[in-house]
Chain A
Amino acid sequence: MENENIRLEELEIKRKSIIEKRKRYKRLITICGGTGCQAYNCREVFEKFKKLIEQKNLKNKIELKITGCHGFCERGPIVVIQPEGIFYQKVTPDDVEEIINETIINKKIIDRLLYIDPITNCKIEKEKEVPFYKKQKRLIFGNNGLIDPTNIEDYLAIGGYKALAKVLTEMKPEEVINEIKHSGLRGRGGAGFLTGLKWEICRKASGTEKYIICNCDEGDPGAYMDRSLLEGNPHSVLEGMIIGAYAIGAHRGYIYVRKEYPLAVKNISQAVRQALEWNFLGKNILGSGFSFSVDIVQGAGAFVSGEETALIASIEGRRAFPVPRPPYPAERGLWKKPTNINNVETWANVPLIISKGAQWYSQIGTETSKGTKIFSLVGKINNTGLVEVPMGTTLREIIFEIGGGIPNGKKFKAVQTGGPSGGCIPENLLDLPIDFESLSEAGSMMGSGGMIVMDEDTCMVDVARYFLTFTQHESCGKCVPCRIGTRQMVQILNRIVKGDGKAEDIVKLEELAQTVKNGSLCGLGQTAPNPVLTTLKYFRKEYEAHIYDKKCPAKVCTALIAYYILPEKCVGCLLCLKNCPVEAISGERKKVHVIDQEKCIKCGMCQEVCPPKVNAVIKLSGKKELENITKEIEGKGG
């Protein structure tokens, strides 16, 4: 007992000294270093800051940090200056000197680096006043912007590992499980199973050797919140896992990360090493007698390995084939031992619940879905980024207030949630308060939190085909309904987008969808038809237009569109003619150009290169439109 007290005291003393040490800094400059901002070359901005801070002898006054993802990917590279919270966006290395001279030394704001609210046209100085952030409740994700994920001291300075210390000294494993149960936390990976209950089943399962797994095989295209947590705040995930292991009685854990996420792999690996040094991992953790270790396993690119049983197969070094459940992994999982698998975001919620209490946590959210959820808001949206909101927030609030609506004045058409297993939700359901149940009722699902916004230029048949091609490709091939059913569905959809759709195709699609849904072995197949079913439900007219009128209303499906050059607008600049990859355009300088429809492959290059002020190339679809234009052009030509 004595030993335990000393170790914990030590932790608090060390924490205090870390906080004390930092007080000498007057300013903190954080640069978003998530994968998104790295793609904008934020590293160069960081290096420039570092160099200038050294040159100007400011090292003792200014703390410089490259942090995890701040979420507002649209505006990267992002620089935030604390304590004021001054928010600069789209910062380039050339801006750095000015930021130091003006903002840091002279305390002046640099206007041109501020974010302009597109609705009010006002310039916004502070991060928390940017509408994108203002409407969010960033309980899990907020710390990303404050800490350097590669430095455990940063996590300790904001109270990190306090929850673990509390659990190890004050709580019995059953009490931890009860706390999580009472919080109402549900799995953030897709199905929304009650986390506390899952833990309890695994704890009660017979056998002394048990495992826990953190699932970061984030495979849904357009979803990257798990990556950003693992990249930006790896210790919060780790702390959640250690608490879970203690509650369940597991002594070994695995973190399964996609290999496509190199930064996440690097940061979590480093976090594990640091946690070992600090004895948050390893033997006799903080003198409690509890031991736990963690290994990192890298995935190799298979969507199906996000499924629990397939993921287990992958960790065991096999092909990621799922197996039927029951038995559930909680009873018979990794190496046939009881195993508890939770998603990254679920684990990251755990320390928060322990610190603030189940009572507090369960007040956030809706009746059945508690807490917040991180969504990745992408597609045809002004503010692409990661958004954390309480469960029960409406789609409209997320898309229009936080996301800033649709770019280029286009009209909203649908939002796709839940990845390839989810569905497309139309405009009349935008006021839906989102939680696990409401999304299922709309025919979609929460999934891991991908939210892809589509506008009037998106063809819903093409989208359905896109998702089904995806799941068909990723189907592991083990069970017949998924392997063959999805292939048949793709064939029908391919036929429809090519203009060869038949009247009976819609019914056939619906029948096949039901079979695949009911007969497939795992979640991948059971949910694969959702994108087709929801688009058929909400956008049936688009299917009918493709089949009966040979028309793609959004003008996306290449077989059903044609490009024409309007003679009255064409100035004869030769641009399209030179750029056409198949030499389908004829004409001379200052004479009207004409597209040879026989040769045209409909790549759209001519429309892309035609100068906006000329805007002579139009895209048409449907028999009627095409007949009319031919007549019109021929009429003018003659």
Chain B
Amino acid sequence: MEERINIKEILNKYKGKKRELISLLQAIQDKYGYLPEESIRQLSRFLNVSENEVYGVATFYESFRLTPPGKHLITVCMGTACHVRGAPRVLEELQRELQIKEKETTKDGLFTLEIVNCVGACALGPIIIIDNQYYGQMTSQKARELLKKYREKERHGE
């Protein structure tokens, strides 16, 4: 079950014009980490556009999520510079270790794996970002060790 979703506070800051749709979706995702179904319903009423249209926009743009992300968000940069420096192997290793594909979350809810086109920190490539912390010059081995560290931290934290 979704937690009780009420986006009134967010909506109050907007005029209710259609052009505000993307900005509103961003505000909702900033609050909940994703776009809950109920928020789309409320948003569609507020802007007087169909839910269908809201979903159309939400699924067109890469940065929107329709399911809640895991506790840690792992972003792998797949920019060209990272690609030629071996990013695909790093991504494969992460997929293997986590047993998920991109845009998926592990069963224990700990990790979500995402890829981005480029984060523009090419000197550090291949680069992965875990919860806004940048890890540069990645190799598959380093990525695996990093995961181990995060998993251990979780175990000790509990």
Contact = CB atoms under 8 A, between A and B. Distances in A.
B22 A317 contact: yes
Interface string B120-133: 11111101000000
Interface string A295-318: 001111111000000000011111
B122 A39 contact: no
B124 A608 contact: no
Contact of A36 (B17, B57, B120): B120
B56 A319 contact: yes
A538 interface: no
B80 A450 contact: yes
B90 to A, nearest CB: 10
Nearest to B118: A221
B121 A73 contact: yes
B72 interface: no
B117 A470 contact: yes
A300 B134 contact: no
B25 A300 contact: yes
B39 to A, nearest CB: 16
A306 to B, nearest CB: 11
Main secondary structure of the interface of B (DSSP, over half): helix
Given A36-B123, A260-B116, A317-B19, A222 B79 contact: yes
A93 interface: no
A73 B123 contact: yes
B122 A376 contact: yes
B51 interface: no
Contacts of B97: 581
A19 to B, nearest CB: 33
A219 B116 CA distance: 11
B155 to A, nearest CB: 21
A579 interface: yes
29 contacts: A35-B121, A36-B124, A38-B134, A39-B127, A39-B134, A76-B123, A221-B80, A221-B117, A222-B81, A260-B116, A260-B119, A261-B120, A298-B22, A299-B61, A300-B61, A301-B61, A302-B61, A317-B20, A317-B22, A317-B23, A319-B60, A378-B122, A379-B80, A379-B85, A385-B123, A416-B80, A470-B117, A581-B97, A605-B141
Contacts of A404: none
Indicate the size class of the contact surface on chain A: 35 or more
A320 B59 CA distance: 11
Interface in B101-158: 116-125, 127, 134, 136, 139-141
B26 A300 contact: yes
A144 interface: no
A267 interface: no
A579 B140 CA distance: 11
B124 A39 contact: yes
A36 B56 contact: no
Most buried by B among A36, A39, A419, A452: A39
A224 B56 contact: no
B81 A74 contact: no
A581 B147 CA distance: 14
A-B interface, 4 closest residue pairs, ranked by CB to CB distance from nearest: A224-B120, A301-B62, A300-B61, A221-B79
Interface string A433-469: 0000000000000000010101000100001001100
Interface string A18-55: 00000000000000000110111000000000000000
A608 B139 contact: yes
Given A317-B22, A581-B96, A300 B78 contact: no
A370 B22 CA distance: 37
Interface of B: 17-23, 25-26, 56-57, 60-64, 78-81, 83-85, 89, 92-93, 96-97, 116-125, 127, 134, 136, 139-141
A378 B140 contact: no
Contacts of A221: 78-81, 83, 117-118
Given A300-B25, A317-B22, A470-B117, A605 B140 contact: yes
A555 to B, nearest CB: 12
A298 B23 contact: yes
B19 A316 contact: yes
Contacts of B120: 35-36, 218, 223-224, 227, 261, 376
Contacts of A219: 117
B63 A301 contact: yes
Contact of B81 (A299, A301, A378): A378
Interface in A231-268: 259-261
Nearest to A466: B83
A582 to B, nearest CB: 9
B16 to A, nearest CB: 12
Interface in A206-227: 218-224, 227
A476 B117 CA distance: 16
Nearest to B122: A378
B25 A379 contact: no
A284 to B, nearest CB: 26
A452 B22 contact: no
A261 B136 CA distance: 18
B76 to A, nearest CB: 13
Contacts of A608: 139-141
A319 B80 contact: no
Given A76-B123, A378-B80, A579-B141, A222 B118 contact: yes
